[in-house]
């Protein structure tokens, strides 16, 4: 995938209602100002906003995420996502939470997490592991602008 624009999610360089559908996939947990970012998604959408990201699963998982990836800010719960959409005047049309099983070694390797850091992450996610895989649920939430 190659982006058409690289910018701050809290200040999108597009006019109001520029797109029928605006989607973000596995990115929002990196946004330092999630409220402004969701408002911007709603502003540039003429009809729908879809967000797909990992779901908040507690402080230990958040710590594991930050150790693995220094750019990680925070995952959000379903209740928080619904609140973010409501604050951006988006009406939630659909919301689905599903399990996502990932190979733990591959997930750690993607960010170069190894050694003591990888060991710490493994300890923190141990309750969510099965063999060499671990589960971090995903939320898919869709909202309308009208």
Is the whole-model pTM more than 0.85? yes
Quote the pLDDT of residue 138: 97
Are 114 and 14 contacting, i.e. CB atoms less than 8 angstroms apart? no
Are 125 and 61 contacting, i.e. CB atoms less than 8 angstroms apart? yes
Supply the CATH classification number for the domain 19-144. Answer: 3.40.50.150
Place of tokens 């402004």: 36
Whether the predicted pLDDT of 116 surpasses 90: yes
What ranges do the domains of the chain cover?
19-144
Q: What is the pLDDT of residues 68-84, one digit of tens each?
A: 999 999 999 999 999 99
Q: What is the mean pLDDT of residues 107-114?
A: 96
Quote the pLDDT of residue 1: 60
- State the pLDDT confidence band at 122, using cuts at 50, 70 and 90: very high
Q: Which residues contact 62 (CB under 8 A, 6 or more apart)?
A: 56, 72, 74, 75
């Amino acid at each position: 995938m190659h982006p058409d624009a690289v910018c701050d999610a809290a200040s999108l360089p597009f006019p109001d209602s520029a797109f029928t559908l605006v989607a973000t996939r596995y990115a929002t947990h990196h946004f330092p100002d999630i409220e402004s970012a969701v408002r911007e998604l709603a502003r540039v959408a003429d009809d729908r906003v879809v967000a797909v990201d990992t779901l908040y699963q507690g402080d230990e998982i958040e710590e594991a995420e930050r150790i693995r990836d220094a750019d990680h800010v925070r995952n959000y719960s379903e209740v928080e996502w619904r609140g973010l959409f409501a604050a951006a005047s988006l009406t939630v049309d659909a919301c689905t939470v599903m399990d996502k099983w990932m190979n733990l070694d591959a997930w750690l390797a993607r960010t170069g997490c190894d050694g003591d850091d990888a060991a710490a992450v493994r300890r923190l996610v141990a309750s969510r592991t099965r063999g060499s895989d671990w589960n971090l649920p995903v939320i898919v939430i869709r909202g309308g602008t009208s």
